[in-house]
């Protein structure tokens, strides 16, 4: 079986991780521009000031994407280039840059798939309370509408937010992303609610403009499975799915929050400050949401957490995504299992987890339209005689594409696959050491681009529409 002709073979990036040019052409300062420069916050103090200089080299990069046969490029817009202080004046040079980037994609027939928010919030808004302040919701509306009006004649695929669970939990529970706040569930739930309202408003605005494209949101997809057959652990996995899936997917797809979580938040005093009008907006926008983007890296293997003296203090808990973490509410813990495979960064490699998760998602939400908006292997790639032989990445993507194909056979409505990432880029907390790209960037040699082994392999897959998988 080949993949259908309307299925996109794509790859992705995000503005802060590739662009650089952090203070050029009228760009405002983002929360990441500030946060990454606080000593100790990022791996070896790396930051996105230069990143991989995509801002200046996008033509070369898109030419390489075209050579690979890429059908669609998922990238994000930096809010600070469009409206430098968050909700004030529009910066024409910012519009010009993305107009040029979009046109360059279209020149080669590459479909732009645009994320509006991939974590780089204007610092002015961050200082006013970031996503916990409803001013940010209004500001996002203005920013999103500006983008629809400026680019919507050519961009027909929009993602409002990337991974709400990650920027809110790392921002307000783990203190690992801006604004660097720890253990504050009240703020965490408030921020997530505000993001969902901002998403819903953007969906409404977009539909009003009648541009006849599609709009959705991208969520982390880390379905939780019990680590074994024990009833306690099964319950713990259900709890994990309520908090990490239902809380995020229900307001978008059903237009209401899951009762299980709502009840517990009330008992614990963590209910967000929400208005009847906001709850109505969620309800009205849900049927207009066109798709969900799934970022799948690994499932969660879950056990019920029984506090022991050996528990690591919160500050030492794993925050970079590897198992071994106690949930913020102390109910469950993620574990690694002996019979599973893991990456060098300890993330489980599980194409079967993707397929099982997709079936679970269908059980909960029916046949919704899906894109896999991120999936890939973070590795320190082997370089031999100047060749980047990333055979492990080829294997990883091949196995996950096979799972997607099986999903299609089962009638799932998956419309595209975007490998993370199209090119090596800055990992938020792991610097340049952890690589994901098809295109290598030589950090020792003026950021020169090179094709990896996976580049030629993906090119073949696309050319054969996955027939050999």
- Are the CB atoms for 91 and 82 separated by under 8 Å? yes
The verdict on whether 374 is a catalytic residue reads: yes
Nearer to ligand BGP, 91 or 222 (CB): 222
Residue selected from 11, 121, 150, 166 as contacting ligand BGP according to rule CB under 6 A? 166
Q: Which of 352, 374, 384, 410 is catalytic?
A: 374
The Cα 220–Cα 245 span in angstroms is 8
Task: Tell me whether strands 341-342 and 348-349 are parallel, antiparallel or unpaired.
Answer: antiparallel
Query: For residue 253, what are its two tokens?
Result: 């797809």
Q: How far is the CB of 207 from ligand BGP (least distance, A)?
A: 26
Task: Give the residue at shortest CB distance from ligand BGP.
Answer: 427
Task: Tell me whether strands 332-334 and 300-304 are parallel, antiparallel or unpaired.
Answer: antiparallel
Exposed/middle/buried for residue 312 (C-beta within 10 Å: 0-12, 13-18, 19+): exposed
Pick the stretch among 121-129, 150-158, 324-332, 421-429 that binds ligand BGP (CB under 6 A).
Answer: 421-429
Q: How far is the CB of 74 from ligand BGP (least distance, A)?
A: 10
The Cα 165–Cα 192 span in angstroms is 7
Nearer to ligand BGP, 150 or 377 (CB): 377
| Residue 159 within binding range of ligand BGP, rule CB under 6 A | no
What 3-state class would DSSP assign to 218? Answer: strand
Pick the stretch among 306-314, 331-339, 386-394, 428-436 that binds ligand BGP (CB under 6 A).
Answer: 428-436
Distance of CA 330 to the CA centre of its chain: 25
CB atoms within 10 A of CB 109: 11
Contacts of residue 276, Cβ cutoff 8 Å, sequence gap at least 6: none
| Residue 420 within binding range of ligand BGP, rule CB under 6 A | yes
Q: How far is the CB of 110 from ligand BGP (least distance, A)?
A: 20
Site size toward ligand BGP (CB under 6 A) is: 15
| Residue 430 within binding range of ligand BGP, rule CB under 6 A | yes
| Residue 378 within binding range of ligand BGP, rule CB under 6 A | yes
Binding mask of the shown chain, residues 320 to 349, with x at each position contacting ligand BGP by CB under 6 A? x-----------------------------
CB atoms within 10 A of CB 380: 12
What 3-state class would DSSP assign to 416? Answer: strand
Q: How far is the CB of 307 from ligand BGP (least distance, A)?
A: 28
What 3-state class would DSSP assign to 219? Answer: strand
Task: Tell me whether strands 72-76 and 111-117 are parallel, antiparallel or unpaired.
Answer: parallel
Nearer to ligand BGP, 358 or 426 (CB): 426
Place of tokens 């680019």: 151
Nearer to ligand BGP, 127 or 392 (CB): 392
| Residue 400 within binding range of ligand BGP, rule CB under 6 A | no
Active site residues: 374
Contact residues for ligand BGP (CB under 6 A)? 14, 17, 162-163, 166, 295, 320, 374, 378, 420, 427-430, 434
């Amino acid at each position: 079986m080949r993949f259908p002709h309307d299925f996109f073979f794509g790859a992705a990036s995000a503005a802060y991780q590739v662009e650089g040019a952090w203070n050029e052409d009228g760009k405002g300062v983002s929360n990441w521009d500030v946060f990454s420069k606080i000593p100790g916050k990022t791996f070896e103090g790396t930051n996105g000031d230069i990143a991989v200089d995509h801002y200046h080299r996008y033509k070369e990069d898109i030419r390489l994407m075209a050579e690979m046969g890429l059908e669609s490029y998922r990238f994000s817009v930096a809010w600070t280039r469009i409206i430098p202080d968050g909700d004030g004046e529009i910066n024409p040079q910012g519009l010009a840059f993305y107009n040029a980037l979009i046109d360059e994609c279209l020149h080669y027939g590459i479909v732009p798939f645009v994320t509006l928010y991939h974590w780089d919030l204007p610092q002015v808004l961050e200082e006013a309370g970031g996503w916990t302040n409803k001013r940010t919701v209004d500001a996002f509306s203005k920013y999103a509408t500006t983008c629809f009006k400026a680019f919507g004649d050519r961009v027909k695929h929009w993602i409002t937010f990337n991974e709400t669970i990650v920027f809110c939990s790392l921002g307000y529970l783990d203190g690992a992303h801006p604004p660097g706040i720890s253990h504050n569930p009240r703020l965490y739930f408030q921020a997530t609610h505000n993001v969902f309202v901002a998403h819903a408003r953007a969906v409404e605005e977009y539909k009003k403009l009648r541009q006849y494209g599609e709009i959705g949101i991208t969520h982390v997809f880390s379905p939780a499975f019990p680590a074994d057959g024990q009833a306690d652990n099964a319950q713990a996995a259900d709890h994990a799915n309520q908090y990490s899936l239902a809380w995020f997917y229900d307001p978008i797809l059903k237009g209401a929050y899951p009762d299980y979580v709502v009840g517990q938040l009330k008992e614990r005093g963590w209910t967000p400050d929400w208005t009847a009008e906001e709850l109505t907006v969620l309800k009205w926008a849900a049927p207009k949401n066109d798709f969900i983007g799934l970022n799948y890296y690994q499932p969660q293997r879950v056990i019920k957490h029984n506090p022991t003296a050996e528990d690591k203090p919160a500050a030492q808990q794993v925050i970079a995504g590897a198992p071994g973490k106690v949930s913020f509410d102390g109910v469950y813990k993620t574990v690694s299992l002996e019979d599973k495979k893991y990456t060098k960064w300890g993330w489980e490699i599980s194409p079967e987890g993707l397929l099982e998760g997709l079936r679970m998602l269908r059980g909960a939400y029916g046949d919704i339209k899906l894109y896999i908006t991120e999936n890939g292997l973070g590795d320190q790639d082997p370089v031999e005689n100047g060749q980047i032989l990333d055979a492990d990445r080829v294997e990883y993507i091949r196995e996950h594409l096979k799972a997607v194909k099986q999903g299609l056979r089962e009638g799932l409505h998956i419309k595209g696959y975007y490998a993370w990432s199209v090119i090596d880029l800055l990992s938020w907390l792991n610097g340049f050491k952890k690589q994901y790209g098809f295109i290598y960037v030589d950090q020792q040699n003026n950021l020169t681009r090179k094709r990896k082994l996976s580049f030629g392999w993906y090119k073949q897959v696309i050319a054969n529409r996955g027939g050999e998988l």
